[in-house]
Amino acid sequence: MSVLVTGGAGFIGSHITEALLQRGHEVVVLDNLDPYYDVDIKRQNIERCREIETGRFEFVEGSITDERLVEEVFSTYDVEFVYHEAARAGVRTSVEQPLFYERNNVGGLLTLLEAATDHGVERFVNASSSSVYGRPDYLPYDEAHPNYPKSPYGTTKLAAEHYCKVWQSVHGLPTVSLRYFTVYGPRMRPNMAISNFVSRGLNGEPPVIYGDGEQTRDFTYIDDVVAANLRLLETDAADGEVLNIGSTDNITITELADHVISQVDSELEPIYEAEQQADARHTHADVSKARDLIGYAPSTDIREGVGEFIEWYRQNREWYEPLVVSS
């Protein structure tokens, strides 16, 4: 199958791309190498994909907002399936640049939906986010929970979900939106809590916690996210749906910091700073809908996953750590 992965040079997109190539698919990645974080990580991801001998890999540098380029990609590579992972991430910076987020996360999506419709794509999988929930009326969140996004980023992700449903209803394009809950693992974005805690701990510096540390997060290991995405190659059971993709577990930020400290053999004490604007207070996923429709079964809890990430970090410290520190 010919598969387009937008944002395929990024963290989640590159893992999906690798998995597709290992299964023999033809994969074209469209990515603009946005310097939101150090692009050397993205270039490393691209090179890893080039080295996979199964499947066929093509990389196109450019933006999903470029209508001419998007049309050219769909035509040239005869795209049959789309994993849309490209977006400007970051709830905090979206507060400062709302129009930029709207143009990329909503405008870019619409460009892709139009091209996918024109070219008869089999299925369009949209990467959404737990940021659409905002604040809890109850926990864990199920997909019927009301949406109260606290940031322009979360708002753009919610708008994208609605557009996907409209496109399926009006144009017959099968779409699925996956609401990711704080994904982590090897090659993760460097400006995230886990990567920062690990980097600081290994360098004898205390973790920095924003707020009181009692915030909770449902951290989802990258392998579980990839498994959910690949399942959508095999089934139409989720067409037209929105699904939570989380771990079913959660942990306070202070507990996470303490666990990282214990894993890196440190006796450091966390530092607490002012809470950041637009951050959600709690996230916790009910994944029963994804389990029922696509057989989703998360396999890695946060404590096990952090251990695996720390081991990967130690092995890749020479090239990865400077990029974490610089962010």
Residue 292 lies inside a defined structural domain of this protein: no
- Is 190 part of any domain? no
Helix (H, G, I), strand (E, B) or coil at 296: coil
Residue 323 lies in a domain: no
In a domain, 162, yes or no: yes
Residue 318 included in any domain:
no
204: enclosing H helix or E strand: none
pLDDT, one tens digit for every residue, the chain (327 residues)? 999 999 999 999 999 999 999 999 999 999 999 998 889 999 999 999 999 999 899 999 999 999 999 999 999 999 999 999 999 998 989 999 999 999 999 999 999 999 999 999 999 999 999 999 999 999 999 999 999 999 999 999 999 999 999 999 999 999 999 999 999 999 999 889 999 999 999 999 999 999 999 999 999 999 999 999 999 999 999 999 999 999 988 999 999 999 999 999 778 999 999 987 778 889 999 999 999 999 999 999 999 999 999 999 999 999 898 888 766
> Which residues share a beta bridge with 82?
4, 124
What secondary structure letter does DSSP report for 103? I
Q: pLDDT (tens digit, 9 = 90+) per residue, 278-287?
A: 788 899 999 9
Residue given tokens 């496109």 in the structure block: 167
Dist. CA 1–CA 5, nearest whole Å: 12
- What range does the domain containing 162 cover? 2-180+222-245
Q: What CATH number is given to the structural domain containing 140? A: 3.40.50.720
Residue with token string 């809470």:
275
Identify whether 174 is part of a domain: yes
Q: Are 259 and 306 in contact (CB under 8 A)?
A: yes
**Element (H or E) spanning 289, and its range?**
helix 288-294
Which pTM does this prediction carry? 0.96
Whether the link from the prior residue into 152 is cis, omega within 30° of 0, is no
For residue 205, give the nearest of 266, 263, 274 by alpha carbon: 266
Q: How many CB atoms lie within 10 A of CB 69?
A: 17
Quick check: is 175 in a domain? Answer: yes
Decide if 273 is inside a domain: no
3-state SS, one letter per residue, for 35-73: CCCCHHHHHHHHHHHHCCCCCEEEEEECCCCCHHHHHHH
pLDDT tens string 221-239: 999 999 999 999 999 999 9
Instruction: Report d(CA 302, CA 75) in Å as an integer.
Output: 42
What's the domain count of the chain? 1
Distance CA 34, CA 87 (A): 10
Q: What is the pLDDT of residue 114?
A: 98
User: Which residues participate in catalysis according to the annotation?
Assistant: 153
